[in-house]
Amino acid sequence: MSNTLDGKTVLITGATAGLGRATATQLAQRGAHVTICGRDPGKSARIAAEIRAQTANENVDHLTADLSSLAEARRLASEFSDRHKKLDVLINNVGGIWAERHTTVDGLERTFALNHLAPFVLTNLLLDTMKAAPSARIVNLSSQSYSWGRIDFEDLQAERTYSGMRAYRQSKLANVLFTYELSRRLEGTDVTANVLNPGGVHTDFYSGQDLPPTIRFEALFRALMQSPDAGARASVYLAASPDVANTTGQYFVKRTRKSSNKVSNSRELAGRLWQVSADLAGIDE
């Protein structure tokens, strides 16, 4: 494999298992300086060491953060920027789903906080570091679930009524809206932003105890899903391929550009979500 990412710095969240780990491994194989992020310091250090051994790439390190916390997301951005003068590729891979409603240390609904606000905060705080790179890429992970989602501004934190699938679908739609708005705000820079639906991937996502019935049903078909290694190829494609070097503000299913639905293309909705997210996260416009 050609080392097409020699000299490139990469940060990937949710990278200690499944799709994230496979993506980090493939990027390290291409010669990138990869920083993985996970919640558990011991596990993060162990996975980084295993990727170094597997790829013969010594430039694989780790940072730890519970990205459901706004303060932790801020700390991660600060620590990365202290270590690196530039960031070539940011892959917002972290995500989760829960049958029961949980709140974060900030009092936010966990699905919205982890799946949407974490990428929103981390990306915004790392933009200067990305603009320092000759050209930089942001890859946000979504899923087909976005197409059934809606942004409920009247009950964004699901305080009135909670459904695990509804919260997840809302967060995945938010990923698409955020990416499109971000790409518009990055016009005139050398930073691109695209959103990816990697397709069904057989990972630990389907192994939790607190899963909605829909996800438990999908888990019955895990044997038919693609492996993490296969699923990671789409993330690597968007991170590394010259074919998409100047592509931004696009929705991809695996490695194919697709049109997303009408709701996700609403500039008014994207702008409102951005403002609400910035207010919740304390991000200056």
What are the residue numbers of the active site?
Answer: 168
- The answer to whether 109 and 97 have CB atoms below 8 angstroms apart is no
Please report, to the nearest 10 degrees, the dihedral formed by the alpha carbons of residues 122, 128, 130, 135 taken in order: 150
Q: For 192, which DSSP code?
A: E
CA gap 118, 68 in Å, rounded: 6
Cα–Cα distances in Å, from 220 out to 159, 166, 184, 215?
31, 21, 40, 9
Q: What are phi and psi of 6, to 5 degrees?
A: -55, 130
- The answer to whether 48 and 36 have CB atoms below 8 angstroms apart is yes
Give the amino acid at 151.
I
CA gap 172, 164 in Å, rounded: 12
- The answer to whether 251 and 176 have CB atoms below 8 angstroms apart is yes
| HEC readout, 57-104 | CCCEEEEECCCCCHHHHHHHHHHHHHHCCCCCEEEECCCCCCCCCCEC
Start-to-end CA distance of the chain, whole Å, equals 42
Residue 258: CA count within 13 A, CB half-sphere:
18
